[in-house]
């Protein structure tokens, strides 16, 4: 069809050339040489153009079929040729397109005789429509569409759907076919395993997906034609994972997609360069929110305070005109970053065991809460206090092994070095004023005044211990679990701190407000699971009595309850996404590592 157009165009040009020459001959006989030369020129150019166009059309017709029914056979040849070239170019389909899983894509097509999957006879298959639409709306799944070639696929889709001539071009269908398959392989990897590298907390030993997984999944899809069911089956079964996904679409639909300046905080106090840089970033960020006029070289304190108040009023914060952690966290929290936090949280669920225990304790540090879970149901919830950013609570998996009532507290080395040693060098009896005892290697109490504290800087050959009692930092009960960080769950003698909204206040341990409920649940669980001949040394009533009598007891928990301390900075609540403060900057680090270019 295209060849005919070129020939017609060439013939028309030839005719025009002759007509022009004849007309010129009549009226310009005096200049005979001119029209004849012009005629020759037009004739030669017209023939050259016709031949050139015909030659070009032959080249372009290599991928064009005359009937849609011939497309599948043509497509198989072109897919093979394109993949051979791509493999030779280490996955580069062309100058602008890199395939992620080109070796898997090539294996899949080779095993299936290069037959097309997503189209047939120059028409989209239902599976092709489903995959394209899923990629287009991938944000609703916490994914990034362009990770799966959406930008290129959209151009191809628009061209193939709107241009009847392009629809007969096998080269376009070949490109769409390969991009969709590569996108699908990348997609199922992200849904199954996530984008974060598996960490030491993951109990998914089969975390590395092999080539046959990808090929078998796509083969299964083409056989069963169950697109939604296939993708759902790849994802975690955790209830909270799906609760989070329920809220994503509503969040995405209302997203403010502007990206604002990120402010690094805290800055180094006393460092002029660092503080000036901080003010510069703060000024730029406030200008982006229309709270400060642009063009101010260096705002004075009054101008800065006025701009901060304006922003605080916008966000419903206490308008004191001062900057601090809460203000900076609010300034740094924009929808583009929130979406990345959703993506990170979804992937964190993929690092959990495929099947959680029937009963377990779940501590979410950014949410400042503890849940006791039984049969996928929250038995009770408790507020918690976790470590400060500088003494953060570690993420871990363990199980409650024993409980101690009216415990003593051995001060960790980190606290001794950072807090106590500098003061002990000035006042050897500093720890005595705090009600702490100094014990030697034999457990004998010695006088702090007898020690030359100036000798020590990284640690001391003694233990500093606080005796049991209501004023003990651990409170009246302590829950132990095996871990290399010397942390545990416990009560506290500062229970008023649970009223705080931000509760990253401890030296690393987790303080539990509802310690009674936790202790009684563990005791009742041991009682319920005990066999007839077992003799338990404690019950929930025993714990009540020991606490009432201020007695110190160590209780071995017979049926250990698994414990998960995790970092999930958002979750689904009633069809919406609830965000928590990124207290340790964990999400920020992962954004920069994995999603900085998105």
Q: What is the CATH number of the domain that holds 381?
A: 2.40.440.10
Q: Sheet harboring 463-466: ordered strands across?
A: 409-410, 463-466, 436-439, 445-446
Count of CB atoms within 10 A of residue 521's CB?
19
Provide the pLDDT for residue 15: 45
CB under 8 Å to 237, separation ≥6 — which residues?
A: 354, 355
CA separation for the pair 165, 176 (Å, rounded): 16
Q: Any idea what DSSP says for residue 64?
A: B
User: Is the predicted pLDDT of residue 382 greater than 60, yes or no?
Assistant: yes
Pair 51, 169 in one domain: no
Each residue of 469-489: pLDDT tens digit?
988 999 999 999 999 999 999
Number of domains, the chain: 3
Domain boundary among 48, 63, 78: 63
Lowest mean pLDDT among 346-355, 362-371, 387-396, 428-437: 428-437
Tokens of 166: 């392009």
Q: What is the Cα–Cα distance from 76 to 38, expressed in whole angstroms?
A: 50
In a domain, 593, yes or no: no
Q: What is the pLDDT of residue 274?
A: 86
When pLDDT is cut at 50, 70 and 90, the band that residue 5 belongs to is very low
SS3 467: coil
Where do we find the tokens 């679409």? 249
pLDDT of residue 61: 53
Instruction: Decide which of 208, 235, 262 is a domain's last residue.
Output: 235
Q: Do 82 and 58 fall within a single domain? A: no
**Is 298 strand, coil or helix?**
coil
User: Is residue 142 scored above 90 in pLDDT?
Assistant: yes
Local confidence band at 535 (pLDDT 50, 70, 90 cut-offs): low
Q: Are residues 493 and 367 in the same domain?
A: yes
Gyration radius from the chain CA atoms: 36
Domain closes at, from 192, 208, 235: 235
Same domain for 47 and 105?
no
- Residue 283 belongs to some domain of the structure: no
Using the predicted structure, report yes or no on whether residue 226 has a pLDDT greater than 90: yes
In terms of domains, do 214 and 75 share one?
A: yes
Dihedral angle sign, alpha carbons of residues 542, 543, 544, 549: positive
Considering the domain architecture, whether residues 39 and 91 belong to the same structural domain is answered as no
Judging by DSSP bridges, how do beta strands 369-374 and 359-364 pair with one another? antiparallel
Confidence of residue 62 (pLDDT cuts 50, 70, 90): low
Label residue 273 by pLDDT band (50, 70, 90): confident
User: In whole angstroms, what is the distance from residue 184 CA to residue 195 CA?
Assistant: 15
The 10 Å Cβ neighbour count of residue 551 is: 12
Mean pLDDT of 238-258: 96
Distance between CA 106 and CA 193 in Å, rounded?
A: 22
List, for residues 412-458, the tens digit of each pLDDT value.
Answer: 888 899 889 999 999 999 999 888 999 998 889 999 999 999 999 88
Q: Is 567 exposed, middle or buried (0-12, 13-18, 19+ CB in 10 A)?
A: buried
Residues 15 and 147 in one domain: no
Q: What is the dihedral of CA 188, 194, 197, 202, to 10 degrees?
A: -110
What is the pLDDT confidence band of residue 12, given thresholds at 50, 70 and 90? very low
pLDDT of 36 higher than 50: no
Flag whether 242 is in a domain: no
**Domain assignment present for 466:** yes
What is the torsion angle, in degrees rounded to the nearest 10, for the CA atoms of residue 502, residue 505, residue 509 and residue 512? -50
Same domain, 123 and 49: no
Q: What local confidence, expressed as pLDDT, does residue 544 receive?
A: 95
pLDDT for the residue 103:
96
Angstrom distance (rounded) from CA 343 to CA 190: 10
Instruction: Give the percent of the chain with pLDDT over 90.
Output: 75
Confirm if 449 and 492 have CB atoms less than 8 A apart: no
**Is 589 inside a domain boundary?**
no
Element (DSSP H or E) covering residue 12: helix 2-27
Contact 173, 115 (CB under 8 A): no
pTM of the complete model beyond 0.85: no
Whether residue 539 sits in one domain with residue 400: yes
User: Looking at residue 28, what is its pLDDT?
Assistant: 38
Q: How far is CA 534 from CA 166, 426, 439, in A?
A: 79, 56, 39
264 pLDDT band (50/70/90 cuts)? confident
Would you say residue 413 lies in a domain? yes
Tell me the pLDDT tens digit for each residue of 171-217.
999 999 999 999 999 999 999 999 997 654 444 444 458 899 999 99
Q: What average pLDDT does this structure show over 511-533?
A: 90
Tokens 């699908």 sit on residue:
184
DSSP class of 210: P
Q: Are residues 17 and 149 in the same domain?
A: no
The reply to whether 367 and 485 lie within a common domain is: yes
Write out the residue range of the structural domain in which residue 455 sits.
357-579
| pLDDT confidence of residue 536 | 62
Amino acid 99: pLDDT: 97
**According to the model, what pLDDT value does residue 56 have?**
45
Position 467 in a domain:
yes
Do 104 and 195 lie in a common domain? yes
Cα dihedral value 75, 80, 82, 87, nearest 10: 160
Q: Are 140 and 252 in contact (CB under 8 A)?
A: yes
Note the pLDDT of residue 60. 45
Task: Please check whether residue 278 lies inside any domain of the structure.
Answer: no
């Amino acid at each position: 069809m295209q060849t005919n157009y070129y020939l017609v165009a060439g013939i028309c040009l030839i005719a025009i050339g002759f007509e022009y020459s004849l007309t010129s001959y009549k009226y310009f006989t005096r200049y005979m040489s001119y029209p004849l030369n012009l005629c020759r020129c037009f004739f030669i150019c017209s023939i050259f153009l016709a031949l050139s166009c015909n030659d070009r059309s032959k080249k372009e017709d290599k991928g064009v079929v005359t009937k849609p029914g011939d497309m599948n056979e043509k497509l198989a040849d072109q897919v093979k040729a394109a993949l051979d070239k791509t493999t030779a170019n280490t996955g580069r389909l062309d100058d602008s397109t890199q395939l992620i899983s080109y070796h898997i894509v090539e294996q899949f097509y080779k095993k299936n005789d290069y037959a097309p999957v997503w189209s047939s006879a120059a028409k989209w298959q239902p599976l092709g429509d489903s995959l394209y639409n899923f990629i287009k709306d991938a944000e609703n799944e916490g994914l990034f569409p362009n990770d799966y070639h959406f930008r290129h696929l959209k151009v191809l889709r628009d061209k193939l759907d709107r241009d009847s001539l392009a629809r007969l071009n096998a080269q376009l269908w070949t490109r769409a076919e390969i991009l969709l398959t590569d996108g699908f392989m990348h997609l199922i990897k992200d849904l199954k395993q996530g984008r974060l590298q598996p960490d030491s907390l993951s109990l998914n030993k089969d975390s590395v997906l092999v080539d046959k997984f990808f090929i078998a999944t796509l083969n299964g899809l083409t056989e069963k034609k169950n697109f939604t069911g296939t993708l759902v089956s790849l994802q975690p079964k955790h209830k909270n994972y799906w609760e989070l996904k329920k809220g994503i679409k509503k969040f995405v639909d209302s997203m403010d997609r502007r990206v604002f300046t990120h402010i690094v905080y805290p800055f180094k106090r006393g460092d002029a360069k660092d503080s000036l840089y901080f003010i510069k970033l703060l000024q730029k960020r406030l200008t982006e929110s229309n709270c400060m006029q642009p063009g101010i070289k260096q705002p004075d304190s009054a101008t800065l305070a006025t701009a901060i108040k304006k922003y605080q009023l916008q966000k419903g914060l206490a308008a004191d005109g001062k900057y601090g952690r809460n203000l900076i966290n609010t300034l740094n929290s924009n929808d583009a970053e929130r979406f990345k936090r959703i993506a990170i949280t979804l992937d964190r669920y993929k690092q959990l065991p495929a099947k959680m225990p029937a009963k377990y304790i779940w501590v979410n540090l950014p949410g400042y809460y503890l849940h006791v879970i039984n049969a996928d149901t929250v038995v009770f919830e408790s507020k918690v206090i976790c470590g400060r950013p500088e003494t953060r609570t570690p993420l871990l998996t363990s199980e409650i092994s024993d409980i101690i009532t009216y415990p003593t507290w051995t001060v960790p080395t980190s606290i001794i070095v950072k807090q106590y040693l500098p003061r002990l060098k000035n006042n050897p009896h500093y720890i005595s004023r705090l009600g702490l005892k100094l014990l030697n290697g034999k457990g004998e109490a010695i006088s702090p005044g007898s020690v030359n504290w100036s000798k020590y800087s990284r640690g001391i050959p003694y233990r500093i211990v606080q005796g049991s009692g209501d004023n003990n930092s651990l409170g009246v009960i302590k829950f132990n679990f095996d871990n290399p960080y010397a942390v545990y769950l416990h009560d506290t003698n500062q229970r008023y701190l649970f009223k705080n909204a931000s509760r990253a206040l401890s030296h690393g341990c987790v303080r539990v407000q509802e310690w009674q409920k936790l202790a009684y649940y563990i005791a009742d669980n041991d009682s319920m699971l005990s066999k007839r001949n077992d003799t338990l040394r404690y019950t929930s009533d025993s714990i009540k009595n020991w606490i009432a009598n201020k007695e110190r007891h160590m209780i071995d928990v017979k049926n250990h309850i698994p414990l998960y301390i995790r970092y999930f900075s958002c979750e689904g609540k009633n069809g919406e996404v609830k965000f928590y403060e990124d207290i340790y900057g964990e999400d920020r680090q992962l954004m920069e590592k994995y999603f900085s270019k998105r």
